[in-house]
Structures are given as structure tokens and as C-alpha cells.
Chain A
Amino acid sequence: MVDDMPVLRARGLHKDFGRAAGLVRAVDDVDLDVVAGETVAIMGPSGCGKSTLLHILGGLDQATGGEIHLAGQRIDRMGERALARLRSDAVGFVFQGFHLMDELTAVENVEVPALLAGRPARAARAQAIELLDRVGLADRREFLPSALSGGQRQRVAIARALSNKPRVILADEPTGNLDSAATLDVLGLFDDLHQAGQTLVIVTHDARIAATADRLITMRDGAFVDQTILTGGTHGNRGALAGLDG
């Protein structure tokens, strides 16, 4: 399913916070290519800049320097309106804390990106139902987030990320708030997406999750320090890789 066209490319990317003596370089000279259909895991200890990098790659945050190309467009010089359109069309975000809207049901949460993209309500609802079915929550679509388990909430969040058929899904510690069973559940879902050709960039500090990717990048102090091609990836025995099987 992997082809050679990079969906996401970063060159010389850096992000600074503060200035002078208080300057902190959260992202330090990062080069990255992610081709379509590839699953890339970025791993490192807490505070190493993983989430900041992910937000910059998705156009949620501005880099201090460097270039980013996403879906064939250079985004580091884009205006706010164009970036919003890009986030709507090409990127799907999955957050560690799920970030579902409490007052909306599962299906209403999933349809939000489609409604914001201007799609008709009926079409958005139909697609949201389909996506919930795809993540195995067809029978929970009218439930509020408070009535769902952690794993179910994250599956709703993943369905929401898929709403506008994004070129790439950027997942920030997607299993960070989940127990082992739910983690396995979400891993399975990512595997299914990978099999379907979805491009994924997953930030994690959990080696078991990273082991399921095509490529593992290790990050420390804002910089990439190691890169490993994983031949097994999510095609292998993910339970064993993740150390979750008995």
C-alpha cells in the first residue's frame, strides 16, 4: 500500500520558545519524509518535542524556521485561512485526551469536521454513521462521551479524524490515557487504517505502540537521533509486539 510520493515533508524544521538565555529549542533541525500509506511512529521521552512537532506538521502551530510540505503544498508560509482549509481537507487529528465535545453524542462529534467543511447535514450524518460502524461503535452512536469507555472515546475520536478523508492522520499519544485492553483495541484500529492505505504519523513514548509502525523515529531534545525500519510493522502479530498478549 506504500507508494513513493511524500505526503508530508519537512526540511530544517525548528521551533524555539523564549529568547536569549531563556531560549528553548523544542524542535531542532528536523528533516522528515512520510510517504502515502506509511505509518511512522515518533518516539521519545516526555518533553522531547514530539507533540510540538506534530502540531507544526499539522499546521496547528507555526515553526520558527524550516519548510513543511503537506499534500503537495508548502504550509509554513500559508495564511491562517488557507491553513484552516488544509486542516479540514488533508489532516485528521487524534489527541491523547480524546477532546470530544461533552454535549455532543458520538455521531454528532464525528460529523463536526464535515459540517465545518460545509458539507450538508444529511451527508455529514450518513458518513459519521458509516465511520462509527467502521470503528465498531455503530450501537453507541447516540451515546454521550460520558457514557463511553476510554477506548470507545478514542475510537470516536479516530472516526472524527477520518471524517473528511484526510491525507494524513496525526495522532498524539493516542493510547496515553488507555488501559491495556483499550490500547490493543486502538492498535487494531490503526492497523486496519494502515491496511486501507491511510497515512499515519503517531507520536508516542510507548515502545510497544511504536513497534507496530513501518518506521520508528527516535527523538531527543527536539532532534531526530535514530531511525529504524520495522519490517514486521503492523502486519505482524501486533499483540505480541505490543506485549499485550498473555
Chain B
Amino acid sequence: MVVLVIGVAVTALSVGLALNGMTDSPYRQTRQATAGPDVVAGFMLPGKQTFAPGAVDELVNTSGVIGHTGPYPLTYTTMEAHGRSKGVAVEGRDPAPAAVDQPLVTEGRWVRRGEVVIERGFADDLGVHVGDDVTLAGRPYRVAGTAVTAGLPSYPSNICHIACDVPFPGPPSGGAPDIGLVWLTSPEATALAGDTGSLSFYLNLTLADPSAAPAFVARRTGPGTFAERWPGTFLISWQDIQNADTGLVQSEQIAMQVSGFLLAMLAIAGMAVLAGRRMVDQTRRVGLLKAVGGTPEVVAAVLLAEHLAMALVAAALGIVAGRLIAPLIASAGAGLVGAPGAPELTPATIALPAAIAVAVAVAATLVPAMRAARVSTVRALADHARPPRRRALLLAISARLPVPLLLGMRLIARRPARGALNALSIAVAVTGIVAIFPTAGQDLAAAPGPRADRLGQLTAIVTVMLIVVAAVNTLFIARATITDARRMTALSRAFGATSWQVSAGMSTAQLLPALPGAIIGIPAGLYLYRAAAQQRMLTIPPAWQLVAVLLGTSIAVALLTAATTRLGARQSVTEILRTERA
């Protein structure tokens, strides 16, 4: 169980770390296969169906520019396919291959008159295949092929995530719309622009030093530069395109790293309970260690070393699992050639999860280990558990309550730290759920599309992981409470409490700390989302959703503990009293 709890947390964290740079590899492959441009220049003259030849001449004659293709016409319109309507950017290209940015045909053939080639990621999303019929601005075309390019970000990312002036509304929450990319012959693209009224041009440049592309762009953007002298022009580097391609993965990376942190918090809570239980189980072993000469330091070190070993095993498993899962999440879709490369195995991607696993084990084990080290040898050999705490105020209050609440409060009073861990566990889980579902869900719903779909799927996976670990924690804590309170509950039954009352009391002991934990988790989730999404304002979901989270959490905790406590309350009283110490 120790390995499972830490392993899940390390897996989530490893996925987040492994996503770093993973999508560079497919983009680089695509760039190589398509002779991708180093800089793309766009020319938009509002109301004019042309470009400034002087601007093109200036760029292609700039020192360091060693090649170019274009300018090519570019227009925006709507494509109908299989009953679906999507906004598209239509590039006009020559049927002959281009020296710079020649899209790689992955199926079918390159553009011919009357035919359209569709960017592969977009075609996959629409379910369009070679030979299908589609319409662009109402004009019929047959799909000649699908292709990939490094000249524009692949679908669902697109040029609009860098610079855009399209006739489609963006999502209500802001940002760019997800639009597809198709290729026609240049005359057809220009003709189509006559229907749509928008026509711009773009130029592909190759530089002697591709790594200098961002500097090339920077020197020509801003006051007094090329962009100001030639209004309506913009420049983007291949690094910008690559970043736009990985933008979606970056959102996923943030989601996974935040969830890794939350899962690590849950792991600490679960581990602390497990470690405490293991110490109780090993009390006699501690006594034996001391009896044969082990000092308190040795005893603490032995117990700590055991959990550290388990944490390292869990870290190793989590790192391996993270490396296996990351490519599934990082898959850039069909818009790029090749699969994402294997996650890089760097010292940071190994050391950080391992360090967190060790930190979790130390944080959770140190107190029980120190406590075990301090226990007297005779007491430990007699297998006496640590005496419960006495909380006079809680005891006095509980005496005035109905039996289930009386028992529940007294169970909490016996082990207040366990109640605090329970509250922490639920607070962390609710924080994640509130950050993901009502809050991120609201934003994602406001901007529907393939990007939102993918992020929605990932956040759903993260939520499931959080719920599973929190549920496991709840069961651990319920189990620990039952085991620890065996004598108390058996005595209560011997003196007249029904097993239902005992079971309800044990469930109450789980629910009472869970409730404040859930309440704290709601604002924590709202603020966590604001921080992760780098928003200035809090996104407040409808009140009913927050109430539903609160109620759902309480019901889930009640159901999870009910089965466990019911079993605990049915144990034989005589057997417990026979085996438990006086």
C-alpha cells in the first residue's frame, strides 16, 4: 500500500516533468521532412487583394536569408464536411514541389485543380478521407490527399494562436479559435478569396542560421522597424510555431504538475496513517530491537530505512509509469510526422520525483519512528499500543450527544492527528476537484473544441487519480480507526451500544474531520485554478456545483467508511476483549 500510494503521486509528477520538450521531437521531424521555413512572413492589406512587393523584396534580399518560397495567397472561409462546418485557412500552393515548406503528403496526392489537400490532424478530427467530397465557401472539392507541414502549427493549434485576423469569432473566454488548414492551387485560393472578401499572403524564408530566427523576427518587429514601415505585415519564427504546437501540451504539463503536487500531499496523508499503523504492528519488534541493544537512534533508523526503501521502489515504479504514460498524453495528434520522442531521462526527471517520494516517506514516518524509538523496552515487548490522547473538552461535549456522535467524537479525541490527516486528505482532493471540474470545466465549456476536449480528458484522468488516492486514504484511515478502537468499541457493545450505533460512530469519526476539509478545499480549489491558469480574477462556478461537490464528498466518505465500519462493528466482542490488552 505504501508503494501504491507514493507510486501514484510520483507517476503524476513524472508525467508532468516528462512532458517537458517531448513534442519537440515530432516537430523537428516534420520540419526536416518538409523543408520547413525558418521564418514565415504574412502580408495583410485590409481591403486590398494584394501585397506590397517592396516588403517581399526587402525580406528576401536581407543578409542571412538564403532561400524563400511564395508569397502564397491565404484566405479564410468555412468548410463543410460530413455535415460539419469548420473554419479553415486556405493556402494557395503550386502543384510543383516547393524548395521551402513543401507539405509532406501522407495519403493521396498533392493539390491539383478542383481538389483540396487537408492537413492531417484536421482531417482526422473531421473524419475526412481521400476521395471524400467537401465544400469550401459553398464550392465543391474532392479530397486529393492529406499532408503535414511545419510552416504552421498543426491542428488543433493553428496560426491564430500566434497572429490572426480571421472572420470567425473566438471563444467567449478569449483566445484564438481553432481553425483547420487546407491547400488549394493558388488560382483557386485567390478565386475563393473573391467570395470571402479576405485575402492575405505569406512568404517562407530560410536563414543561414536557423537558430537566429527569433532574433531576425525581433529586429523587424516594433516601432521604427520593418513591420512599421510595411503596415499589415507580421513575422513568426519556426520556434514560435513549435511553441504553438506544444502549447496544448504545456497546459497538460501544468495540469499534471499541479496534480502531482496534490497527489504528493495525499500521499503524505496516506503514508502517515500507514506508517502509524505499521509502527503499532511492529511495537513488539521495536521492543526486541531494544532488548538486544538497539539504541533509540538505531530503532528510528531501522524503521525509517524500511519506509525509505519502499518509497524508492515506489519512486522507481512511478518514474517508469510516468515515462510510459507521458507519450500518450503528449501525442501531438496527426498534425506532425512521427510519434513524440521518448521522455528525456535527465537527472531532474529522476531526482525530483525520487526526492519527493523520499520527502513524503520521511515526513510521514519521522514522527511515528521517533515515537517508537522513545517507547520503553518493557512496554514495547508487552506489545502495548501507544495510549490514546485525552481531550477533556471533547469528552465533556460528547457526553451530551446521541450515542453515534458520542462515540464518533470520542474516537476523534483519541487520535486527533489522524482526524487532521483525514481533513487534509479530503481538503486536497476537493481542492483538485473544484479546480478541475466546476472551475476549469466552466472555462473549457466556454471554449469548446478539440483543445478543450483533450484538456478535458486529461483533467478527467487527473480527477479520477485524485479521487482514487483520496478514497484509498479514507479507507486506510477508517481501517486504522477501527483497529485502534477495537477495545473501545467492543466495550461499548458489551455495555449496550448496538453494532449500528458503533458503526455510525466510526463513520462519524471519519465524517466530522472530512466536512471542514471539504469546506476548506472549495476556496483552495478556486485559488489554485486561478494560479495555475494565471488568471487575474477568480472563476466562480455556480453555487449549486460547489454544494454538489460538498455533498458528494460527504456522501462518498460516508459510503466508503460505512462498509468498513460495518465490518468492524460486527467483530466478536468476546474475541476482541480476549485478545486486547487490559
Which A residues lie at the B interface, using CB under 8 A? 51-52, 55, 58, 60-61, 80-81, 84-85, 87-89, 93, 95-104, 108, 111-113, 115-118, 121, 124-125, 144, 146, 160, 163-164, 177
Contact = CB atoms under 8 A, between A and B. Distances in A.
Given A97-B581, A99-B487, A102-B388, A116 B497 contact: yes
Give the 8 A-B CB pairs with smallest separation, nearest first.
A88-B496, A97-B582, A121-B399, A113-B495, A84-B498, A103-B390, A103-B388, A55-B574
B422 to A, nearest CB: 19
Contact of A177 (B402, B497, B582): B582
B493 interface: yes
B322 to A, nearest CB: 44
Given A61-B574, A99-B491, A103-B390, A117 B582 contact: no
B542 interface: no
Given A51-B578, A60-B493, 8 more contacts: A80-B499, A84-B499, A87-B494, A88-B497, A116-B406, A116-B492, A116-B497, A121-B399
Given A84-B493, A95-B577, A102 B387 contact: yes
Contacts of A125: 399
B495 A103 contact: no
B414 interface: yes
B488 A115 contact: no
A108 B573 CA distance: 21
Given A111-B399, A116-B403, A144-B390, A99 B582 contact: yes
Contacts of A51: 574, 578
B495 A88 contact: yes
Contacts of B389: 103
A103 B413 contact: yes
B574 A84 contact: no
A235 B395 CA distance: 41
Interface string B493-525: 111111111000000000000000000000000
B85 interface: no
A116 B495 contact: yes
27 contacts: A52-B574, A60-B493, A60-B494, A61-B572, A80-B499, A84-B496, A84-B498, A87-B494, A87-B495, A88-B496, A88-B497, A89-B496, A96-B582, A98-B582, A99-B582, A101-B491, A103-B387, A103-B388, A103-B395, A111-B399, A112-B492, A112-B495, A113-B496, A116-B496, A117-B496, A118-B403, A125-B399
Interface in B533-582: 572-574, 577-578, 580-582
Nearest to B402: A118
B84 interface: no
Interface of B: 387-390, 395, 399-400, 402-403, 406, 413-414, 487-488, 491-501, 572-574, 577-578, 580-582
Contacts of A118: 402-403
B401 to A, nearest CB: 9
A117 B497 CA distance: 8
A172 to B, nearest CB: 9
A60 B581 contact: no
A108 B395 contact: yes
A163 to B, nearest CB: 8
A84 B456 CA distance: 52
Contacts of B580: 99
User: Which residue of A52, A84, A87 has the most chain B CB atoms within 10 A of its CB atom?
Assistant: A84
Nearest to A157: B582
Contacts of A95: 577, 582
A46 B389 CA distance: 35
Nearest to B488: A101
A104 B487 CA distance: 13
Contacts of A113: 495-496
Contacts of A115: 399, 403, 406
Contacts of A144: 390
A51 B575 CA distance: 11
Contacts of A96: 582
A240 to B, nearest CB: 30
Contacts of A84: 493, 496-499, 501
Contact of B494 (A93, A97, A103, A177): A93
